[in-house]
Amino acid sequence: MAGFGGGGATGGRERRWRGMDRLDSRNRPPRSLLVALVLASVTLITLDFHGGTDSPVEPARRVLGEAFGPVEAGTAAVIRPFTAVPSWFRTKGTLSDEIRDLEAENSDLKSQVATAGFDKNRLEEYDGLTQSAESLGRALVPARVVAYGSSQSFSNTVTIDAGSQAGIGPDMTVINNDGLVGRVLRVTRTTATVLLIIDQESNVGGRVGSSLEVGFVQGRGSVADDELDLRLVDDAVIPAKHDTVVTWGSAEGPYQRGVPVGRVTDVYSSLIESSQRAVIEPFVNFSALDVVGVMVPTGTTSDRAVIEADGAMR
Amino acid sequence: MTRFRAVVAALAISVALILQVSLFPHFAWHGIVPNLCLLVVVAAALTINAPSAMLLGFAAGVALDLVPPADHVAGRWALALTVVAFLAARVRQDVKPTATAVIGTVAAASFVGTSIFALTGLLLGDSGSVPDLLLVIGVAVLWDVLLTPFVLPPLMRLFSSLDPQLATA
């Protein structure tokens, strides 16, 4: 077969796919190597799976992150002007449609604010919340998303272009101007990997805005939609539709308190489990993530401007 | 020559990986992007000698497993791409690689690679629901086949020009 192929290697097509026609027994893929590499992969899987957060693979992740982080950031910076091109070609019609939608939404929100029944208890709770938010003394480190994990990997993670040099560490809360984005998993000097709240590994302590009931917001890891599930600790309470869910927050946990997560869109009750499951539509649009902020303790030294709790840049 | 070839192969994987995480998500459908690393591995398996191609597959898989923003259990893509390289190198002996054959190989490789990754996820309790899984595999195969005419010919030319066996013939 190799002989025939070699003889016919004069045509244009043959040259294009050349290398193919010189097949001989030397090229038989060795089974021993396959077995060795498969065993190596399985070893790697076992090491990483049982190691958890301090697995022996973690240093290798860090080294590769240090090497690839700046390249990813650079590539994203080069690509950014081109990905903005489609937004230049929006017609007057689509823009006026958008204005109409925004006006409708604005008046809707205004009426909600005007008619909302703030009872005294709730107001006090909110006052407490804002006070604790102030006393927490958080500052924001701005960053941009430079790389996205693919759906083929069945995990929802992104890389941002700020790392330990910017004062970021693991388990810090990541937000954008719409609400909660996720938390930092690991950092390199110049980048950080963020676990989005829509990942199925993500579990956020949440609190329903109107009843102040606590529960857990879990990502679904679903490909087709970005919805979250809310399970309340108290099974007797049924969350109302359109209720806002904010983070519950704890002193040492990863998520700071009072960050808006999403809105209740549907409530299902399961008779067998005698519990309520609410579907949450997150405020953040995860398919168009760009600028995010990482909540750091105030006074953190950073390689870039830090936005303090009172809005001042430092 | 061999060292030079290894450097070029590593460079090809790096470029593919960077484009896969930084450029293609902007065109992705529900976050499903073309698996450029898999295309590089298939191109290598169809061109250079089989052991090198399998090592390249393993290396590309480890890179996909570890380079941020990856967060799944490491070794899963390494396993998938090693098997892909082995199968593509096997197919190469039996089929005369016309353009159709190459596209068929890519489709099969993409299906096998993504499936192995998804199945290891199911075993480790780290994967989505089965309908999601099938959707992702289907769209991933479609993406990879769509990109094949643009990616595979230059890559195969690159690899075959680096193959020392070719220089002696």
Task: Say what the ipTM of the complex is.
Answer: 0.84
Nearest one of A268, A267, A261, A260 to A198, comparing CA atoms: A261
- CA B40 to chain A, closest CA, distance in angstroms equals 15
Share of chain B above pLDDT 90, in %: 43
Mean pLDDT for A181-206 is 90
User: Is residue B39 predicted with pLDDT exceeding 50?
Assistant: yes
Name the helix (H) or strand (E) containing B87: helix B76-94
> Is there a contact between B102 and A17 if contact means CB atoms under 8 Å apart?
yes
With contact defined as beta carbons under 8 Å apart, do A287 and A162 qualify? no
Q: Which residue of A17, A188, A224 is in closest CB contact with B30? A: A224
Report which listed range, A243-252, A265-274, A281-290, B146-155, is most confident: B146-155
More reliable by pLDDT, B20 or A309: B20
- CB < 8 Å to A3, chain B: none
* Cis previous bond, B69, omega within 30: yes
Q: What's the pLDDT at A251? A: 61
CB contact under 8 A, A17 and B156: yes
Site of tokens 């898999």: B38
pLDDT of residue A111: 67
Whole-number average pLDDT of chain A: 78
Looking at CA atoms only, how far is residue B8 from chain A in angstroms?
17
Cβ neighbours of A155 in B, within 8 Å: 70-72, 126
Return the structure tokens found at B25.
């998500």
> A245: pLDDT confidence band, cut at 50, 70 and 90?
confident
Buried b (16+ CB within 10 A) or exposed e, B139-164: bbbebbeebbeebbeebbbbbbebbe
Indicate whether A20 pLDDT > 60.
Answer: no
Q: Which two three-digit tokens encode residue B138?
A: 């289907």
In chain A, residues with a C-beta closer than 8 Å to the C-beta of B68 are 61, 64-65, 68-69, 72, 147, 157, 159, 186, 188, 191, 193
Q: Could you tell me which residue, B36 or A250, shows the higher pLDDT?
A: B36
* Interface touch A224/B132, C-beta < 8 Å: yes
Q: Which residues of chain B does A69 touch, with a Cβ-Cβ cutoff of 8 Å?
A: 68
Higher pLDDT, A35 or B96: A35
Is A18's pLDDT higher than 70?
no
Q: At B115, is the pLDDT very low, low, confident or very high (cuts 50, 70, 90)?
A: very high
Q: Which of A6-20, A61-75, B94-108 has the highest mean pLDDT?
A: A61-75
Residues 6+ apart with CB under 8 A from A279: A227, A228, A229, A230, A264, A265, A266, A267, A268
> Does the pLDDT of residue A268 top 50, yes or no?
yes
Instruction: Give per-residue pLDDT as tens, A38-88.
Output: 999 999 888 888 877 778 888 888 898 899 988 988 988 888 888 777 777
CB contact under 8 A, B49 and A27: yes
Taking the CA atoms of residue A200, residue A202, residue A205 and residue A211 in that order, the dihedral angle to the nearest 10 degrees is -40
Subunit contact B114:A193, Cβ cutoff 8 A: no
Rounded Cα gap, residues B139 and B28, in angstroms: 10
Nearest CA-CA distance, residue B133 and chain A, Å:
9
Q: Per-residue confidence at B60, pLDDT binned at 50, 70, 90?
A: very high
Q: How far, in Å, CA of A248 to CA of A255, rounded? A: 8
Residue A17's closest CA among B86, B148, B1, B54?
B148
**Nearest residue of A to residue B46 by CA position?**
A20
Nearest neighbour of A148 by CB, restricted to B25, B48, B117: B25
Mean local confidence (pLDDT), A218-240:
80
CB contact under 8 A, B75 and A44: yes
Mutate to test the interface with B, among A17, A46, A152, A227 (most CBs of B within 10 A): A152
- Contact list, B83 vs chain A (CB under 8 Å): 34, 38
Confidence of residue B95 (pLDDT cuts 50, 70, 90): low
Q: Enumerate the residues of chain B whose CB falls inside 8 A of the CB of residue A28.
A: 50, 93
Among the partner-chain residues B54, B159, B165, the one whose CB lies closest to the CB of A33 is B54
CB-CB neighbors (< 8 A) of B67 in chain A: 64-65, 68
Among the partner-chain residues A23, A64, A150, the one whose CB lies closest to the CB of B92 is A23
pLDDT higher than 50, residue A5? no
Which one of B46, B75, B93 has the shortest CB-CB distance to A42? B75
Average pLDDT (A204-223) is: 82
Which residues of chain A from 175 to 194 reach within 8 Å of chain B, CB to CB?
185-186, 188, 191, 193-194
Between chains, do A21 and B74 touch, taking CB under 8 Å as contact? no
Q: Distance, in angstroms, between B9 CA and closest chain A CA?
A: 16
Judge: B128–A221 Cβ closer than 8 Å, yes or no: yes
- Which residues 127-166 in chain A show a CB within 8 A of chain B? 146-159
